[in-house]
């Protein structure tokens, strides 16, 4: 098996990690309740919040971003609940499968895979589904190369009392994402795309409006690998882990976030825009 790093990776991710990230991942593994690691995990939450530019709660789940996305759906969706899903690419269509699997009544806004739903189309969907409580959107569809109008989507959701769930896996660090300014209630991202980290974690930013919606769901997972509430109750409020995190992944993601913040998130976004 070759250990040679690729000279130039054109895939959407995992992207090439820097020497600093690789070195951090190679640090000695310690007990996850060692005070040094607890401090590292707390610090990573702060760093992820800075990368997002948000004051919302940060939940770090141990598992690739698919875990975070399905966990967000499982936490918010009640059987029979109306959800508007923007399905303009493979990942948007996939979101619909999760929503239906958890019992949602899904109203899909569909376009061709090389197009994005316009604000007018989304406004019309909201008007036609006044009982919708959640709207789901993939910010960047990597197979299609499309970017959805997230600022306008957040405004529409805010004005209509709808919670937004954003797949920001391929956009955070490469395209503008402003959860607070744009009223984005749940953002789910990952380290292995524009942040240049390892692929073992889900990075969630969750607003109070989203927590309120989750509180209305009697079927929101608890005592489960899919449980966002376990992380809220045990880590955010109790300084304990629901399960053992990967010490090495935490080190690597911390280094990746530090590098992005040292460069500056806006500068990183500009770099990706120029490269694209």
Choose among 124, 77, 111: nearest CA to 97: 77
Please give the backbone phi and psi of residue 18, each rounded to the nearest 5 degrees, phi first: -75, 165
CA-based nearest residue to 204, from 91, 48, 75, 83: 48
Domains in the chain and their CATH numbers?
31-275 (3.40.640.10)
Cα dist. 160→153, 230, 255 in Å?
Answer: 11, 29, 39
Length of the chain in terms of residues written: 276
SS3 for 118? Answer: coil
Q: Give percent of the chain with pLDDT exceeding 70.
A: 97
pLDDT category at 250 given cuts 50, 70, 90 is very high
Asked if residue 116 has pLDDT above 50, the reply is yes
Average pLDDT value for residue range 199-221: 98
Q: In a 3-state reduction of DSSP, which class is residue 215?
A: helix
Quick: pLDDT tens for 7-31: 677 777 899 899 999 999 999 999 9
Short-list 149, 172, 186, CA closest to 68: 186
Distance of CA 241 to the CA centre of its chain: 20
> pTM of this prediction?
0.95
CA torsion sign, 114 to 117 to 118 to 121? positive
Cα 40 to the center of its chain, rounded Å: 21
User: Is the pLDDT confidence value at 84 over 80?
Assistant: yes
Identify whether the C-beta of residue 221 lies closer than 8 Å to the C-beta of residue 78. no
pLDDT single digits (tens) 126-163: 999 999 999 999 999 999 999 999 999 999 999 999 99
């Amino acid at each position: 098996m070759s250990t040679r790093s690729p000279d130039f990776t054109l895939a959407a991710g995992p992207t090439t990690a820097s020497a600093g990230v690789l070195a951090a991942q190679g640090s000695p593994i310690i007990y996850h309740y060692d005070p040094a690691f607890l401090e590292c995990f707390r610090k990573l939450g702060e760093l992820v919040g800075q990368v997002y530019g948000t004051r919302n709660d940060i939940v770090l789940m141990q598992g690739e971003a698919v875990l975070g996305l399905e966990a967000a759906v499982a936490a918010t969706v009640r059987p029979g609940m109306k959800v508007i899903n923007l399905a303009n690419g493979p990942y948007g269509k996939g979101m619909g499968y999760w929503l239906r699997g958890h019992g949602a009544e899904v109203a899909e806004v569909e376009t061709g895979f090389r197009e994005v739903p316009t604000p007018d189309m989304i406004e019309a969907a909201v008007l036609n589904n006044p009982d919708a409580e959640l709207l789901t959107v993939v910010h960047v569809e990597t197979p299609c190369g499309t970017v959805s109008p997230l600022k306008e989507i957040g405004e529409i959701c805010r004005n209509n009392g709808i919670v937004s769930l954003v797949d920001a896996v391929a956009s955070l660090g490469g395209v503008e994402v402003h959860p607070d300014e744009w009223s984005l209630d749940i953002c789910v991202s990952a380290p292995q795309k524009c942040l240049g980290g390892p692929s073992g974690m889900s990075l969630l930013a969750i607003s109070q409006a989203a927590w309120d919606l989750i509180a209305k769901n009697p079927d929101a997972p608890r005592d489960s690998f899919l449980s966002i509430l376990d992380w809220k109750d045990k880590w955010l409020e109790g300084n304990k882990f629901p399960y053992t995190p990967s010490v090495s992944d935490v080190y690597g993601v911390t280094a990746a976030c530090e590098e992005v913040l040292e460069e500056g998130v806006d500068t990183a976004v500009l770099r990706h825009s120029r490269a694209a």
